[in-house]
Structure 1
Amino acid sequence: MMLFGALLSVLLTSLHSVRAQYPAPGACSGDCFTHDPAVVKRADGKYFRFSTLDLIGIWTADNLAGPWTRSGSVIQGASIINIPGNDVLWAPDVVYMRGMYYCFYSVSVSSSQTSAIGYAVSTTMESGSWSDQGAVVTSTSSSPYNAIDSNVVNGTAEDEFYIQWGSYWNNIYQARVAIDGEYVFRSGNEHQIAYEPSGNHQEEGAFIWKRDTTWYLFLSKGICCTYDPATDPIDQVYHIAVCKSDSPAGPFVDKDGVACTDGGGTTVLASQGNTYAPGGQGVFTDDAYGDVLYYHYLDLTVGVDYNDSKFGWNVITWVDGWPTVS
């Protein structure tokens, strides 16, 4: 019994250590609901947070920790993309390029491959200032991917841009895009950059971030978005993982050298304490905090329903060329 007790003590200490490596989310006050957030800080210091639902809801604050205030939506009425789900909209990605903000969004309904990635443009990000431009990527039941969860990144040259997208099915794809003022066009080189071969391929939410000469592919892996903490295997619920490459087009590998196209991904943030199922992530550089990882998560003291999703963020610390959160 004494030996068993000692072994149990070591095991619990080990588990506590694993959980303790992930910090609690940064503070958030005001209206903190979000799902698949996008965060941008405007040149005047005003923060904008965009979220799934309500035609891409917009929240603003003077500090990343809030208080956050709802200020409207990107799209008014419905997207001009005429497929089911065009009056809800998912998974925004907002990027600033050449003096203009581009908000990429997803149109779909749950479990459907009849999907599209559209975009709107604005010079201010304020509600009412966005002009809907229609679709960039589409998918049907015959596509290898699902055209949702997009992200756009600048490549190695001023006019080199890539869009990545995908959820479940064959997971994450990428293609070149050309950007000309208000217009974004796909321009070829479509290829898969990440794939989870096991189970029902639970991987989505690709976000590529460039640091120095390295591109980091952040992913949301695991069960989403209906949960039962009493029965869900904790290591299989939503969590944030990363691979990296010396090219924006890959190939991407994780810290152990496993290819992202073969299930690779080094965990950056996972469930711990009352923080449950973090995901839907992105990264931005804040002059107040440095590089910041932002995401949505659930607080077990509140609930695990979709509408309980909260805005989370942590400062990134780079260790030996890999991101950790603090």
Structure 2
Amino acid sequence: MRYNFVVSLLSAASVVYGYGDPMACSGVCNNAHDPALIRRDDGTYFRFSTGAKIAIHSAPSITGPWTYKGAAIPAGSKINLKGKDDLWAPDVTKVGDTYYLYYSVSSFGVQDSAIGVATSKDLTKWTDLGATGIASKAGKNYNAIDSALYWDGSKFVMSFGSFWNDLFVVNMANPPAKTSGTAATNIAFKPEGEHAQEAPFIAKNGNYHYLFFSVGKCCGFDANRPAKGQEYKIQVCRSTSATSGFVDKAGKKCTEGGGTTVLESHGWVYGPGGQGVLYDPSLGPVLYYHYVDTRIGYGDGQKKFGINKIDFSSGWPVV
């Protein structure tokens, strides 16, 4: 009887918010703002995150125990902008035998921003190459932060953007240390409010390219929490092209405010975002992100690393 009662409670909780809680995490599970996750060929997992000149953590398992390994770019970026010693929003991808680590140089709320890149053969020692050619100044309709590299089957593309006209994509050279010189294309825009949309990440499943992104207020929850529902959450649109035509589950264009929610605040999980997708050899596709654990605290430095398995069986990602 007690077992059935517990099962009923768990089922009721699932009905209330419909999301699985993050997988277990051990070791250093904070220091995880805007995480980037990759698995090395020897099975070691590496996590990169905003701040401390891009903090590196590694673990023998995706759930830990995570250990701090130092800064990826300890001397700061070659890009001579304010923020070159406080780098944001890493993204890491392996191309051939080389890892590419993209990062943002910026200051909060301004467009004087640029996306840089560093390379490595082992994910531990990095050579900063500086600017990729993606940059923004006042007057541009985008902000050059929150980049993520993607291979669409024929070329490398870089998604990026935060506020202003929100999310963009630009073609990259091969190897992808620089842009190809083409203009950036708008792929998603929230026309209402503050245009609070950022952190695009494209992942392929089946015939579709899925554009994951974060919507709402990201930070400073300990000082000023937004109205309920206005905090960070993760949404998605999809397209048969990686550079245009993204729509949400209802068919609404992503450039006209579309977006189907994948993960939002629930239970003790608050403000999930800064996400990416990893295809893990044992778990399949997983969504990784940062979030606030309300049982611990709302500070930016307290944000934790979250992972959920993704089910694409409906044609849309469910965690």
Does TM, scored on the shorter chain, surpass 0.5? yes
Matched, 1:250 2:248: no
- Indicate the percent of aligned positions where both proteins have the same amino acid: 45
Amino acid paired to 2:104: S
Name the residue aligned to 1:86. 84
Shift of 1:211: 1.4
Q: What TM-score does the superposition give when structure 1 sets the normalisation length?
A: 0.91
Contact 2:222 2:299 in 1 (8 A): no
Name the residue aligned to 1:162. 157
Contact 2:222 2:297 in 1 (8 A): no
Name the residue aligned to 2:295. 301
| Aligned equivalents of 1:284, 1:206: Cα separation in 2 | 14
Shift of 1:77: 1.6
- Measured at CA, do residues 19 and 228 of structure 1 come closer, stay the same or move farther in structure 2, by a change above 3 Å? farther
Name the residue aligned to 1:96. 94
Q: What TM-score does the superposition give when structure 2 sets the normalisation length?
A: 0.92
Name the residue aligned to 1:212. 206
- The Cα offsets for residues 106-127 of structure 1, whole Å up to 9 and x where unpaired, read as 001111110000000011101x
Matched, 1:148 2:145: yes
| Aligned equivalents of 1:49, 1:77: Cα separation in 2 | 20
Name the residue aligned to 1:12. none
| Aligned equivalents of 2:79, 2:249: Cα separation in 1 | 40
* 1:1-326 matches, cutoff 5 A: 19-33=16-30, 34-126=32-124, 129-136=125-132, 137-157=134-154, 160-180=155-175, 183-227=177-221, 232-325=226-319
Shift of 1:229: 9.8
| Aligned equivalents of 2:152, 2:55: Cα separation in 1 | 29
Shift of 1:184: 2.5
- Flag structure 1 segments of 5+ consecutive residues without an equivalent: 1-14
Task: Tell me the secondary structure at the aligned position of residue 86 of structure 2.
Answer: coil
Contact 1:275 1:297 in 2 (8 A): yes
Shift of 1:213: 2.3
Alignment coverage as a number of residue pairs: 306
- The Cα offsets for residues 43-65 of structure 1, whole Å up to 9 and x where unpaired, read as 10000000000111100000111
| Aligned equivalents of 2:28, 2:314: Cα separation in 1 | 36
Which shifted more, 39-48 or 205-214?
205-214
Shift of 1:228: 6.0
Shift of 1:214: 1.1
Q: Cα RMSD (Å) of the superposition?
A: 1.6
Shift of 1:219: 0.5
Contact 1:219 1:240 in 2 (8 A): yes
Contact 2:163 2:196 in 1 (8 A): yes
Contact 1:19 1:273 in 2 (8 A): no
Name the residue aligned to 2:3. none
Shift of 1:156: 2.4
Task: Tell me the secondary structure at the aligned position of residue 88 of structure 1.
Answer: coil
| Aligned equivalents of 2:226, 2:108: Cα separation in 1 | 20
Shift of 1:231: 6.0
Contact 2:218 2:273 in 1 (8 A): no
| Aligned equivalents of 2:141, 2:63: Cα separation in 1 | 39
